[in-house]
Structure 1
Amino acid sequence: MRVGVVGYGNVGQYLVQQIEEHASLELAFVWNRTVSALDDLQNREAVLENLSDFASRKADLIVEVAHPNITKQWGARFLATADYMIGSPTALSDATLETELRNASSCHGLYIPTGAFWGGDDIKKMADRGTLQALKVTMKKHPSSFKLNGDLKITNEQVLDNAVVLYQGSVRGLCPLAPNNVNTMAAAAAAAHNLGFDKVTGCLVSDPSLTDWHIVEVEVWGPGNMDNDTAFHVKTVRRNPAKVGAVTGSATYASFLSSMLGAHGKGPGVHLC
């Protein structure tokens, strides 16, 4: 399988290395907004200076690990020629773009990596059956691990000793404020398609005590009566090792690789991987 990688930050570098070492994978191209960042790449033939030339590299799968804007600008065009794994699914909080990409996936698959989102397949099955009543994803990180916009950025900069809830509300409202930090929540909203970005709840917590971990809590409510607390309910807590200031936890790298290896052969449509 020929794989094109869009973005050469920490995750992109990791994926390129894994592709080069994998017997059944071939690096079709690597693109980065700052071309000089690719100077250390030994496989110079793989460097793609102009992203508009991507089709000439004949990739079977294109993987984005750069920024949500890549999907906004290029996602539909990628899907016209190859399967596409969107590493920044916060882009899908744009309802118009989500519809455009779902329509564009009629020939090739749009793959959404689960990342730090635990239980995605089970939640999607509940959404398929219409039994998923509610979903809440809480992400807790050290203040220095957040890259935020607007009022959230200002509030986070004022966090000193105690944990502070920066946001609690719809995932759609949160994604533009924290596009680099809440891809897990975006994957959850995509899996819980009967609720979507408007009805899946996201909670972002800035906690100075989290110097070794990112914590992701997923709460699911299914069949039954939520009002009298007799509904089906599951809560999972994931502790992802992460250094202070790291946007991505270390366990997420291996998860991305597993997602990439699974992002093939499922045909047209939208798939979790």
Structure 2
Amino acid sequence: MSKAPRRVGIIGYGHLGQYLVEEIENRNDVELAFVWNRTSEALAGKVPDSAVLKDINNFKERGADLIVEVAHPSISQQFGHSFLAHADYMVGSPTALADPRLESSLRSAATFHGLYIPSGAFWGGDDIKKMADRGTLQALRVTMKKHPTCFKLSGELEELNKTVTDKAVVLYDGSVRGLCPVAPNNVNTMAAAALAAHNLGFDKVQGSLVSDPSLRDWHIVEVELWGPGDVQSDRAFHCKTMRRNPATFGAVTGSATYASFLSSMLGAHSKGPGVHLC
């Protein structure tokens, strides 16, 4: 006897939300429970009327097995706890969890359903989490390099990025916790890294953001970690990877990240309560 399709609710209808909705409607193993967007008018003629959720507070009525946020970090602040009381919840904007109170609250709320963190452009997440579980992960650094037009920043970083012309500029180098609030749309990869490397967390995982005008067609993510051994004498386990992701000029999200996110959504089930990388 075949299982009933898993019902998925989508929060947000930007580029990624549109991609997920289209993929869900073309599959037999999942079905669309609802789509909510800040402006419901944007869904008219694109999403079946029966799937449009006009009031996000009524999400419970749609019986979703999994709720996927691809809208804004504020959604987890406002509704994450409620979502987890009724369904598995996949946080598409994990920069929200750089707020230590929210991270603690959602970890505590994930007692009946799973809190899922998509790996996105974060390469090697499962291996890093295994090292964190064993307490052998000593340090982790994530460097993200993009064209200046690909960044959505605020404050001093936004002003610094405006000065980039012909040479690469390091916009930020420091803790991931300090970066997430000023670049919430760009550093979800770093937030996923900080959650996977839970023995280090947002304060000890280091992030570097580089604005490079030569990267018109690519986003680059470098992940470097140190494990067992003596880091000071350079006799510790060390691994460095580079992910070069094709990207449309000016796009915040690289092309390959869409398929990765779909895989994460399809894998976000059956792991039970707690926090899971997917």
Fold similarity call, TM over 0.5: yes
For the pair 1:85 / 2:90, whether they are aligned, the reply is: yes
How far apart are 1:40 and its partner, in Å? 2.6
Which of 38, 41, 51 is matched with 1:46 structurally?
A: 51
Question: Quick one: distance in 1 between partners of 2:170 and 2:249?
Answer: 19
Which of 256, 268, 273 is matched with 2:273 structurally?
A: 268
Which of 35, 40, 48 is matched with 1:30 structurally?
A: 35
Question: 2:252 is matched with which residue?
Answer: 247
Give the aligned residue type for 1:143: P
Question: Quick one: distance in 2 between partners of 1:38 and 1:73?
Answer: 22
Question: 1:67 is matched with which residue?
Answer: 72
- Written as runs of structure 1 = structure 2, the 5 A alignment for 1:153-192 is 153-192=158-197
Match of 1:41, SS state, is coil
- Written as runs of structure 1 = structure 2, the 5 A alignment for 1:144-223 is 144-223=149-228
Question: Quick one: distance in 2 between partners of 1:162 and 1:170?
Answer: 24
Gaps (5+ residues) in structure 2?
1-5
Gaps (5+ residues) in structure 1?
none
Question: Quick one: distance in 2 between partners of 1:189 and 1:101?
Answer: 15
Normalized against structure 1, the TM-score is what?
A: 0.99
Give the aligned residue type for 2:240: K
- Aligned pairs, how many? 273
Question: Quick one: distance in 2 between partners of 1:220 and 1:56?
Answer: 44
Give the aligned residue type for 1:198: D
Question: Quick one: distance in 1 between partners of 2:29 and 2:204?
Answer: 40
Give the 4+ runs in structure 1 shifted more than 3 A.
none
How far apart are 1:42 and its partner, in Å? 4.2
Normalized against structure 2, the TM-score is what?
A: 0.98
For the pair 1:129 / 2:134, whether they are aligned, the reply is: yes
How far apart are 1:43 and its partner, in Å? 1.4
Give the aligned residue type for 2:130: K
CA RMSD of aligned residues (A): 0.5
Question: Quick one: distance in 2 between partners of 1:124 and 1:178?
Answer: 24
Give the aligned residue type for 2:194: A
Counting aligned pairs with the same residue, the percent is 72
Question: Quick one: distance in 2 between partners of 1:251 and 1:182?
Answer: 16
Q: Cα deviation per residue 1:153-185 (whole Å; 9 max; x = unaligned)?
A: 000011000000000000000000100000000
Which of 119, 123, 136 is matched with 1:114 structurally?
A: 119
